[in-house]
Amino acid sequence: MISREPTLERLATARSLLLEPYGLDETHLANALRVIGEHRIDDADLYFQYTRSEGWSLEEGIVKSGSFGIDQGVGVRAVAGEKTAFAYSDDISDAALLDAARTVRSIAASGQSRRVKLAGGASSVAGSRMLYAPMDPIATLDSAQKIALLERVEKLARAKDPRVVQVMAGLAAEYDVVLIARGGKDGMLLGADVRPLVRLSVTVIAEQNGRREVGSGGGGGRFGLGYFHEQMIESYVDQAVNAALTNLESRPAPAGEMSVVLGPGWPGVLLHEAIGHGLEGDFNRKGSSAFSGRIGQRVAAKGVTVLDDGTLPDRRGSLNIDDEGAPSQRNVLIEDGILKGYIQDSLNARLMKVAPTGNGRRESYAHLPMPRMTNTYMLAGNRPKEEIVASIKRGLYATNFGGGQVDITSGKFVFSASEAFWVENGRIQYPVKGATIIGNGPDALTRVSMIGNDLELDTGVGTCGKEGQSVPVGVGQPTLRIDGLTVGGTA
């Protein structure tokens, strides 16, 4: 059997799903781009997408709901200066494509910038990576196996401890195929990707002496459902049950200014929110980020190196190509405390006169691309976790986080810790509940005093929201000590 090069294989898959059933080929795409280019523009692209998704949820020992959906369509964009014209349609046809092309052309010509919903009714191939298998994850287990997997989660969780009174589990899988055509001086550039995505989530409620607490666990990535083997399921269940049981013993959190130790892995969500968004190109081009105009300056303590890396194999935030057809990259944003660069899509990179970084992302064909993170994490240092915790005289050790809020302009953030411990004289005393961590992202980076040698990435659960769009992402960090943060508590 002769196999094709992976980039061409993905392009063939995209053609078979998004062009051939509708009588389209590259000639039609080139013609649409030519129509858009009849007026003065800086950039234009066509974004075709086919998405099939499935979800199952279990509660009280039975599968209570399931979902299955198919969505497909095309988004057409023209860019002139800072202004963008955009139209999209769930009708994939030559007529709809040309209608969209004329619509964005006329908007661009009039100098307006607005988003229009249409009624249904010589190329080269962009280079890319091979970071995950081009599979349909929905087909990797049959319905009976999916139900059995969720029932196994329920059984394991209840067997862990008699205080577990309720178990909820969810299984989701998505098969996403995209095809991107961009106009250029040297003709049309084509890119395609086949993106599997799966996630298993576990939530338990534990009860003791009339008190109820919640714990959660789970993970996923860009692979098939076979990833959720027995050991993996057990690790998610342990995470959820242990969190719930820990919280049953929690006391009100002390408040005040103190040193805070952040655990490895998912606590990197604080880094993502408080710092990562502030390094996105659109905010910095407009001067609205606390990091604007600070390239080459020290913005963090020595030893702090922050990356956004879309090239990690099988990770939830990784992409073979971004949603503008550019290969994903490993971007060093902060190196040893010095700001090195921002996350860029094509529009903001062009206006800032820098190269795109492979971070042009969109939620779907019905949304515009913008600079977004992929997998954002801090590199490890050389301190053992135990030494970092032992260095705290009085402070908080936060190992898991829930929600948070960030002001991009000022850098101020507020995060709630879903699992945290009070530390005195280097020893963990007891778990605490109701702790919120308050600070300023750029300032907090300068207060990092110890960096652990235990870098971890999250288990594959992150979803990032920005301007109404959600995309899958990854976060990570080693254990960190940050001094002088404000902790809001209930004690």
The enclosing domain of 95 has a CATH number of 3.30.2290.10
Q: How far is CA 308 from CA 278, 298, 340, in A?
A: 13, 18, 12
Strands (E), 60-183: 62-80, 83-89, 115-117, 124-125, 164-182
For residues 460 and 474, what is the distance between their CA atoms, to the nearest angstrom?
Answer: 6
Length of the chain: 491
Token pair, residue 44, equals: 């234009």
Q: Indicate whether 452 and 342 sit together in one domain.
A: yes
In this prediction, residue 120 carries a pLDDT of 44
Q: Indicate whether 139 and 216 sit together in one domain.
A: yes
β-pairing verdict for 436-440 and 480-488: antiparallel
For residues 357 and 331, what is the distance between their CA atoms, to the nearest angstrom?
Answer: 7
In this prediction, residue 27 carries a pLDDT of 95
Beta bridge partners of 262: 398, 480
In this prediction, residue 37 carries a pLDDT of 86
Q: How far is CA 285 from CA 14, 243, 273, 325, in A?
A: 34, 42, 19, 22
Q: Indicate whether 256 and 243 sit together in one domain.
A: no
For residues 383 and 380, what is the distance between their CA atoms, to the nearest angstrom?
Answer: 9
Name the DSSP class of 383.
Answer: B
Q: Indicate whether 379 and 472 sit together in one domain.
A: yes
In this prediction, residue 114 carries a pLDDT of 47
Q: Write down which residue in 249, 282, 300 finishes a domain.
A: 249
Q: Indicate whether 164 and 306 sit together in one domain.
A: no
Q: How many CB atoms are closer than 10 A to CB 463? A: 11
In this prediction, residue 121 carries a pLDDT of 45
Element holding 102 (H helix, E strand) = helix 94-110
Count: domains in the chain? 2
Q: Indicate whether 278 and 346 sit together in one domain.
A: yes
Token pair, residue 147, equals: 């139900």
Q: Write down which residue in 193, 221, 249 finishes a domain.
A: 249
Residue 338: Cβ-neighbour burial (10 angstroms; 0-12, 13-18, 19+): middle
In this prediction, residue 3 carries a pLDDT of 54
Q: Indicate whether 188 and 329 sit together in one domain.
A: no
Q: Indicate whether 207 and 219 sit together in one domain.
A: yes
Element holding 96 (H helix, E strand) = helix 94-110
Q: Indicate whether 147 and 295 sit together in one domain.
A: no
Torsion of CA 299, 302, 304, 305, to 10 degrees: 90
Q: Which domain holds residue 89?
A: 4-249
- Give me Rg for the CA atoms of the chain: 24
User: How close are the terminal C-alpha atoms of the chain, in Å?
Assistant: 68
For residues 343 and 289, what is the distance between their CA atoms, to the nearest angstrom?
Answer: 13
For residues 117 and 312, what is the distance between their CA atoms, to the nearest angstrom?
Answer: 35
Q: Which of 35, 124, 29 is nearest to 74 (CA)?
A: 29
Helices (H), 3-93: 6-18, 26-36
Question: Over the range 124-154, which residues count as b (16 or more CB within 10 Å of their CB) and which as e?
Answer: eebebbebbebebbbebbeeeebbebbebbb
In this prediction, residue 183 carries a pLDDT of 86
Helices (H), 208-280: 230-248, 268-271
Q: Indicate whether 153 and 295 sit together in one domain.
A: no
CB-facing half-sphere around the CA of 319: CA atoms within 13 A: 31
Q: Indicate whether 294 and 240 sit together in one domain.
A: no
Q: Is residue 474 within 8 Å of residue 219, measured between CB atoms?
A: no
For residues 381 and 384, what is the distance between their CA atoms, to the nearest angstrom?
Answer: 9
β-pairing verdict for 43-59 and 164-182: antiparallel
Q: Write down which residue in 249, 277, 309 finishes a domain.
A: 249
Cα-Cα-Cα-Cα dihedral sign, residues 370, 375, 379, 380: positive
- Stretches where the chain sits below pLDDT 50 are 1-2, 113-121
Q: Indicate whether 89 and 214 sit together in one domain.
A: yes
For residues 475 and 459, what is the distance between their CA atoms, to the nearest angstrom?
Answer: 9
pTM: 0.94
